[in-house]
Amino acid sequence: MKKTIVISVLGALLVIGGVFGAIQHTNAKNIKQELQQIQASYTELSYKYEQLHSKYDYLGQQGDYLSQQYKDLEHQYVALEYQYQVMSKRGAEEEDVIADLQWQIAYWKDAYKTKPGPGWTLREFRSEEELVLWLSQDDTDSNRYIPNQFDCEDFARMLQSYAYNDGYVMSVTLVAGDNEYHLMNSCLIGNKFYYIDPQTDRFWFWGYFD
């Protein structure tokens, strides 16, 4: 009886040991498979990481390049904007000059129809514009002032003679200052009296004649 029990116990232990051994073998096999899967996943992730790292470096270089391109374009934009402002201002000035020239052409085209000339009856200037344009064509002011040789008297007489030659009435006027005298020119436009500085072509309104 005792022998039978011992044999039964030993048999049971063998069965249990076999089952436990089988379980251990199965667990080891599973662990090995999991380890292989982990290694495969690690290898795949390492490869993807290398690819991403390479792309990151490339994108970083592209970012630096584009950033420099942006700065260069920004500098070019600022320079072009400045040039545009300069050209716009210059264009406006040129338009003003052209408009002024067109006005002068139109004015003189009409003025020459009634402009006095040599042998004509002398007349007054009809407007400040006519006086300005005539002075702009006269070269008396281009002479050099030489004390006691070619001074204010000579300038005034020369401008008067040129005005007479072109058919205009112009006077030589003595202007008295503090212990000094100065010869200039004068003219009438309508009932307005004007002084003219023959050395500079500057003129100014003094007052009404009546």
State the CATH number of the domain containing residue 157: 3.30.460.70
Domain enclosing residue 156, as ranges: 118-208
Whole-number Å distance between alpha carbons of 145 and 199: 8
Task: Tell me the pLDDT band of 183, cut-offs 50, 70 and 90.
Answer: very high
82 and 156 together in one domain: no
Per-residue pLDDT reduced to its tens digit, 91-143: 677 777 777 777 666 655 555 555 565 556 789 999 999 999 999 999 999 99
Buried b (16+ CB within 10 A) or exposed e, 59-73: eeeeeeeeeeeeeee
Do the domain assignments include residue 106?
A: no
Do the domain assignments include residue 107?
A: no
What Rg, from alpha-carbon coordinates, does the chain have?
A: 54
Do the domain assignments include residue 100?
A: no
Domain count for the chain:
2
132 and 78 together in one domain: no
132 and 85 together in one domain: no
Point out the domain boundary residue: 89, 108, 127: 89
Percent above pLDDT 90 for the chain: 34
Predicted TM-score of the model (pTM): 0.47
Q: Is the pLDDT of residue 36 over 90?
A: no
40 and 3 together in one domain: yes
Measured from the Cβ of residue 183, the count of other Cβ atoms closer than 10 Å reads 16
Do the domain assignments include residue 99?
A: no
